[in-house]
Chains A and B, each alone.
Chain A
Amino acid sequence: DISFKKIIETGSSVLLLFLSDPMLKKRDDFEDILEERRNSSDLKYALRCYTPVLYKGVTPCTSSMLKSMVLQSDQLHYVINQVSKETGKATDDIKEEASAILEEMAQCLQLSTVRFFAFTLSKAFKTLFRSICVNEDGIQRLQQAIQEHPVVLLPSHRSYMDFLLMSYILYTYDVALPVIAAGMDFMGMKFVGEMLRMSGAFFIRRSFGGDKLYWALFSEYVKTMLKNGFAPVEFFLEGTRSRTSKSLTPKLGLLNIVMDPFLKGEVFDVNVVPVSISYERVLEETLYARELLGIPKPKESTSGLFKARKILSEDYGSIHVYFGQPVSVRSLAQGKVNRCQFNLVPRHIPRRPSEDIASFVNDSAYRLVRAQEENMVLKPWVLVASLLLQYHHQNQAAGQKRGIALGELTAQAVWLRDLSRQYGAFLHWPGTVVTQVFTIILLALCVLTICEDKELLSQAVILLSCASYRNQALHVFVRPALLALAIHTEVFNSFSFLRNMFSNEFILCPGATVQDFEEACYLLVKTGALQFTQQEVLVTERGHRTLAFLSTMLDPFLQGYQVVCRFLCEEATETLTEKQFIPAVRKFIKKLLLAGRLRYMEVLSSDLQKNSLAALLRLGAVRKMKG
């Protein structure tokens, strides 16, 4: 295998020079911000003096000034005239329409509302969470970045909590409060929608494909806020909350918009700050599992939120929020984008991004999501859940129902802890191994006992919750795991195939096959699982255990994709619509599970089913027909 050999020969030596050892990755320490909340008055905290530092030279600007700046911008003038010509509507009418859209969209950040949230959230957070840990060095870097260039905050998205939490933290540290791109569905919650608006949220419709006016307003609104350094702009790269705890394929629309001012030279640079929010337990945990299994998500409503109050009586552990290294868009674009392409057409005329810009934004998006993943804090339970799931499935396959000796599990956990550390995982493992594993076991016991439940769906709910913990660690293992799956075949080709197939499932940047392969090789060689000789790849004695663990980790996904293929081959007809696909495949899988012909209940997850269909579409195995 030529490509493989070449990579091993040239790649690995180069890699050793350039790839810094993941274990040596330097990360900041955390500080618990709830500690002070428990020891001093929340009211005082909510009313304290708040004087954030802003972007240099920024002239204060009210939200109504912002709106008029947008409405008077060249871009909007252009689009309004264009729409008027196309539709025959008077420009004044379109202007009015634009103004109304902007009214619906715009945030109106008010300090009083922020203070209200600061007070109420303090109360709520203290009951819900044991601690909220923040890396203060990251906050300081952010402060610095805000003064230098416009800033975009990119938190990971696992919970509705995320953006309130972000603003809460920034308020706590006296950092400029962000304006946040939020989905329109929040607006449905009458009172809450307005509250969120007053705490900095602006609302965008979920889809507005062909609506030029809407797009122009929206992009100009975001750009105006960004360019003038009015406030950091915050949005979720993943577009929506991840129901599985895996990072989602990034959405590019907003990233395109915030990079545009740099590319067109309207600002010198834009700083993008990835933020990793790791929950020990997400508030929406069981909701997500139900949703994935097809139990529809309740519409966001104010009354629903109050019903959610019962949540307050539960323990959700701690949250770790890690503010990553600010990334300069200028340095990302260095050598990748030729900015001269904007020289020949006036910059306010909207244009589809060119190919090099589209691929630059896409690559950057993946890099940023990976930066989020890298700083996700993994709790011990995540590793133990990974182990327990594998045990569970092995037992099931063997038809046994035996438990695991505590000692054995502890030993396994220690092994996995060390392995993941070597792979660069950001572990939070306080106390000794035994105490950790012991507390975990208490949790684990519930899972295992509930698994006795005969009802398929409720078993699946538990399993999917459990899998969502394992998923938190997937980014650490996914590359070596793909290599582990490929090791007994034509390695590079198989790796490349699997990687390609799973690129809707995991964060695998398109076009980075060789880098990923090198990274996987590097990690497996470094940990002594593989050895490279001139001719071949050898699995070492202790490597078998690692490789077995890794390939088992991906097994549910592999099986899932296989089942979907089988479904399409056996049951799908020409008349299968996209809408029918999920219920049909779900029915098919349920049958297999009940018949005992499939062991992974995870395959029931609609997320996996959608991803595999998308992958098959992308690979050209299936085709979408219009009409």
Chain B
Amino acid sequence: MDRLFECVNCKLNLCQYLFFHRQEILKWNGWGYSDTRFLFNKKGQAEFTGKRYRLSGMIIPALQNWFEGTFGASVQHKSPAMPILTSSAVQPPTLNEAFVDELKSTGIPCSHDAEDRVFRGHGHCLHEVFALREGKVGRVPDIVVWPNCHNDVVKIVELACKHNVCLIPYGGGTSVSSALECPPEETRCIVSLDTSQMNRILWIDEKNLTAHVEAGIVGQELERLLNESGYCTGHEPDSMEFSSLGGWVATRASGMKKNIYGNIEDLVVHVKMVTPQGVIEKGCQCPRMSTGPDIHHFIMGSEGTLGVVTEVTMKIRPMPEYQKYGSVVFPNFEQGVACLREVAKQRCAPASIRLMDNEQFKFGHALKPQVSSIFTSFLDGLKKFYITKFKGFDPDRLCVATLLFEGDREKVLQHEKQVYDIAAKFGGLAAGEDNGQRGYMLTFVIAYLRDLGMDYYVIGESFETSVPWDRVLDICRNVKARIIQECKDKGVQFSPLSTCRVTQTYDAGACVYFYFAFNYRGLSDPVHVYEQVEHAAREEILANGGSLSHHHGVGKLRKEWMRETISDVGMGMLKSVKNYVDPKNIFGNRNLI
């Protein structure tokens, strides 16, 4: 299977690295691996360093032009990050001595080293990363513990209750909802419970096609291990290199290939969670039950407010025999959305189907690596000529859908034809496998690009929503326009990048992603401006019938809209569950409600 981000010469298990000091291979103030980043070299050309990704080590000639043109930025104007963390910036830990003593007597590893604490005190929201780049550190956990198994977690939770300390579960640290931020008003000792050591597949049941897995395992490791036995989960969120199984359950994650494999709620068969009241789990591993409200739905999306997910039984599938990428160019976004809607209606969506708008299409184009042969560049030119001149597509309006098919070779080819036939009815032209594959690669490198932007006065972020089909076009148009208007009103000097894509299709609607970035030169408090604009964009999403979140979760960032999202009674229900399960607010990250 062709993996987009496979470790090329990585012999060591990632999780071994992740033991006490993840920061040795991961950036402490940016996204991903320390050896992997975008930079503009001396010639001004963009380069992607490292050896981990397909794009690694390549020159990306068009990026500089696109970057400078889109943002009005310049490679001459740098805004570098602080290279190292000064430990004086980190407040000394507030330790609950009695708790620490008893914890140490259990033999579960723990640390109150500044770097360990800072690393687990944030997710990847813009404001979090921006502050780190400036060397600013707010309230962080006072101590980090690394339980090795379910029973360790039971002990830790018991001790936490006994000594009244605050527990914040930590999985992959890829949150983008301020969920990992320590509440500044928390006066108790805050303990970060790092699940990274609970990373084993405990058993695989080939009869029922399930696997019982510890919740700290990260996505790529889970897939790698299952692949060794010829299986996969098929759950591939964009963050799967770093995010953990427990995190997926706690946030109701969604994967790129959910059309075949389902979202996390479809994949989970059994969950074990440790709460202050004890362990919650079902008594069987049944495919479906009619036993009152599904208790899994109290756990999924609880965002660490009720307990720690320790073990999960997940559905697994035999690895697909054949995978094929594809892409379709549409004359405009409207036609593209109409096509996706039709595909959803006929329930023939491939493993993944995504529609980028025109701006994102151009962005994707700017990320084309240097072509190796004259022949490829000639072909590219020919394709471009065919689409714009011969077919009359307006290069400023056309947009592209990327596709991923998976399964039996024969069925894939048949499926492919069906989808391309539908696309043709909406004016779509097949545009090759390469474009498709590059589109998916972008998913994994886009977070690295944000760091590049931040080196040159450009900040940005993405956020998502889900929306009924009849609202898709309206929400895309209005939210993008709102972002542009708000930037103007808030004094942003340069026109922002405001773009979107439809990333998932459902029977009754779609998931839409917005990307938003701007050049902040001339602004005294760029992060505040950014937050105001994102806030306005979210209001616009809600006013246009979109959801508060499709899969990122609520965290603390979107809490203020929960009441209108789930009604007063709904809030009351969630609160009463919290009050019963965790009356002392041991799981005190204050997410969600």
Find residues 44-59 in chain A having any chain B CB closer than 8 Å to their own CB: none
- Whether A340 lies near B564 (C-beta < 8 A) is yes
Partner of B478, one of A265, A342, A343: A265
Tally of A interface residues using CB under 8 Å? 11
| A269-B481, A343-B545, A347-B470 known, 9 other contacts, Cβ within 8 Å | A265-B475, A265-B543, A268-B478, A268-B482, A339-B543, A340-B543, A340-B545, A340-B564, A342-B545
Residue-wise interface mask of B (540-566) relative to A, using a CB-CB cutoff of 8 A (1 in contact, 0 not): 001111000000000000000000100
Q: Is A620 an interface residue (CB 8 A)?
A: no
- Whether B544 lies near A339 (C-beta < 8 A) is yes
Q: Is A346 an interface residue (CB 8 A)?
A: yes
Q: Is B474 an interface residue (CB 8 A)?
A: yes
- Interchain CA distance A254-B278 in the complex, whole Å: 62
Quote the shortest CB–CB distance from B327 to chain A (angstroms): 25
- Taking CB atoms, residues of chain B closer than 8 Å to A339 are 543-544
- Interchain CA distance A265-B481 in the complex, whole Å: 12
Q: Say what secondary structure dominates the interface of chain A.
A: loop
Quote the shortest CB–CB distance from B477 to chain A (angstroms): 6
- Taking CB atoms, residues of chain B closer than 8 Å to A269 are 481
- Whether A340 lies near B542 (C-beta < 8 A) is yes
CB nearest neighbor in A for B543: A339
- Whether B470 lies near A346 (C-beta < 8 A) is yes
Q: Is A453 an interface residue (CB 8 A)?
A: no
- Interchain CA distance A268-B470 in the complex, whole Å: 16
- Taking CB atoms, residues of chain B closer than 8 Å to A346 are 470
Q: Say what secondary structure dominates the interface of chain B.
A: helix
What are 9 sample pairs from A and B whose C-beta atoms fall under 8 A apart? A265-B474, A265-B545, A268-B482, A269-B481, A338-B543, A339-B543, A340-B564, A342-B545, A343-B545
The 4 tightest CB contacts between A and B, nearest first, are A339-B543, A268-B481, A265-B544, A343-B545
Residue-wise interface mask of A (318-351) relative to B, using a CB-CB cutoff of 8 A (1 in contact, 0 not): 0000000000000000000011101100110000
CB nearest neighbor in B for A57: B397
Q: Is B471 an interface residue (CB 8 A)?
A: yes
CB nearest neighbor in A for B542: A340
- Taking CB atoms, residues of chain B closer than 8 Å to A265 are 471, 474-475, 478, 543-545
Find residues 214-259 in chain A having any chain B CB closer than 8 Å to their own CB: none
- Interchain CA distance A347-B543 in the complex, whole Å: 13
Q: Is A300 an interface residue (CB 8 A)?
A: no
- Interchain CA distance A338-B542 in the complex, whole Å: 10
Residue from A268, A269, A342, A346 having most chain B Cβ neighbours under 10 A: A268
Residue-wise interface mask of B (446-483) relative to A, using a CB-CB cutoff of 8 A (1 in contact, 0 not): 00000000000000000000000011001101100110
Find residues 124-143 in chain B having any chain A CB closer than 8 Å to their own CB: none
Find residues 512-568 in chain B having any chain A CB closer than 8 Å to their own CB: 542-545, 564
Q: Is A185 an interface residue (CB 8 A)?
A: no
Residue-wise interface mask of B (472-503) relative to A, using a CB-CB cutoff of 8 A (1 in contact, 0 not): 00110110011000000000000000000000
Q: Is A29 an interface residue (CB 8 A)?
A: no
Q: Is A266 an interface residue (CB 8 A)?
A: yes
- Interchain CA distance A342-B546 in the complex, whole Å: 11
Quote the shortest CB–CB distance from B319 to chain A (angstroms): 41
Quote the shortest CB–CB distance from B331 to chain A (angstroms): 12
- Taking CB atoms, residues of chain A closer than 8 Å to B477 are 268
- Interchain CA distance A53-B592 in the complex, whole Å: 49
Residue from A265, A339, A340, A347 having most chain B Cβ neighbours under 10 A: A265
- Interchain CA distance A268-B544 in the complex, whole Å: 10
- Interchain CA distance A413-B543 in the complex, whole Å: 54
- Taking CB atoms, residues of chain B closer than 8 Å to A268 are 477-478, 481-482
- Interchain CA distance A269-B543 in the complex, whole Å: 13
- Taking CB atoms, residues of chain B closer than 8 Å to A338 are 543
Residue-wise interface mask of A (439-450) relative to B, using a CB-CB cutoff of 8 A (1 in contact, 0 not): 000000000000
- Interchain CA distance A347-B542 in the complex, whole Å: 15
Quote the shortest CB–CB distance from B26 to chain A (angstroms): 40
- Taking CB atoms, residues of chain B closer than 8 Å to A347 are 470
- Interchain CA distance A218-B545 in the complex, whole Å: 26
- Taking CB atoms, residues of chain A closer than 8 Å to B564 are 340
- Interchain CA distance A268-B471 in the complex, whole Å: 13
- Interchain CA distance A340-B471 in the complex, whole Å: 12
- Interchain CA distance A265-B470 in the complex, whole Å: 11
- Taking CB atoms, residues of chain B closer than 8 Å to A266 are 474
Find residues 514-537 in chain A having any chain B CB closer than 8 Å to their own CB: none
- Interchain CA distance A265-B478 in the complex, whole Å: 7
Residue from B474, B481, B542, B543 having most chain A Cβ neighbours under 10 A: B543
- Taking CB atoms, residues of chain A closer than 8 Å to B470 are 346-347
CB nearest neighbor in B for A74: B470
- Taking CB atoms, residues of chain B closer than 8 Å to A342 are 545
Quote the shortest CB–CB distance from A200 to chain B (angstroms): 27
